[in-house]
A and B are shown apart, each in its own frame.
Chain A
């Protein structure tokens, strides 16, 4: 079974631009969550999608948004990029989307904002 895949793996953008990251969950998984990992703040939850609906949202500004498609693939978008948005963005999928469920993480997309 293929794991969680994220594209692209690396991205360099300029302040003020916008970016879209993609995540393909494990086949059959309906829940996709996104996390931001930085040296200073650690791992922080961005949002979760389940069956195309945003179910939970972390404490991030509205510049961060996402969506999920009918095949469970998910995208996250960051508009008006700031230097502080430089981070590793991790996507995770789970089968049932319950709190006890194991989440399977992708390798991440490394975003650098210059």
Chain B
């Protein structure tokens, strides 16, 4: 079946540090891949997405590349800010319709 595995948190970084959150997936065919972010007390927001192999999604300094050969979609940011503190979810969609399969989420805490 389809599944998403992402690194366990929490991830604790100092401001301006480099961020990597690993995400790998299991799916047949060519799923669409997403990173969503959830700030405290809020719903989820789409951070970026990629819909085919080798696509790079980017937004607000975050990037992730759809790697079919390694079934990965790792999230990176060159210099994190305190305001990036949130929970990050990797997700895939592999069927008609909008059913997303999420990873467990990774909590990021950035200190100044």
Instruction: List A residues at the B interface (Cβ < 8 Å).
Output: 4, 31, 33, 35, 42-45, 48, 50, 55-56, 58, 90, 92, 94, 97-108
Contacts and interface: CB of A to CB of B under 8 A. Distances in A.
A94 B102 CA distance: 17
Contact of A100 (B51, B91, B105): B51
Given A33-B98, A92-B44, 20 more contacts: A4-B43, A33-B100, A35-B102, A42-B102, A43-B91, A43-B100, A43-B105, A45-B99, A48-B98, A55-B96, A56-B99, A58-B99, A90-B44, A99-B93, A99-B94, A99-B95, A99-B98, A100-B49, A101-B98, A106-B43
Contacts of B42: 107
Contact of B89 (A43, A48, A56, A108): A43
Interface residues of B, number: 26
* Main DSSP-derived SS at the B contact region: loop
22 contacts: A31-B97, A33-B98, A33-B99, A33-B100, A43-B100, A44-B102, A45-B99, A55-B97, A56-B96, A56-B97, A56-B98, A58-B99, A90-B43, A99-B31, A99-B93, A99-B98, A101-B98, A102-B46, A103-B100, A104-B46, A105-B36, A107-B41
Interface of B: 31-32, 36, 41-46, 49, 51, 89, 91, 93-105
Contact of B98 (A42, A90, A97): A97
A113 to B, nearest CB: 21
Nearest to B44: A105
A102 B95 contact: no
Contacts of A58: 99
Given A100-B49, A105-B43, A42 B105 contact: yes
B32 A100 contact: yes
A103 B88 CA distance: 15
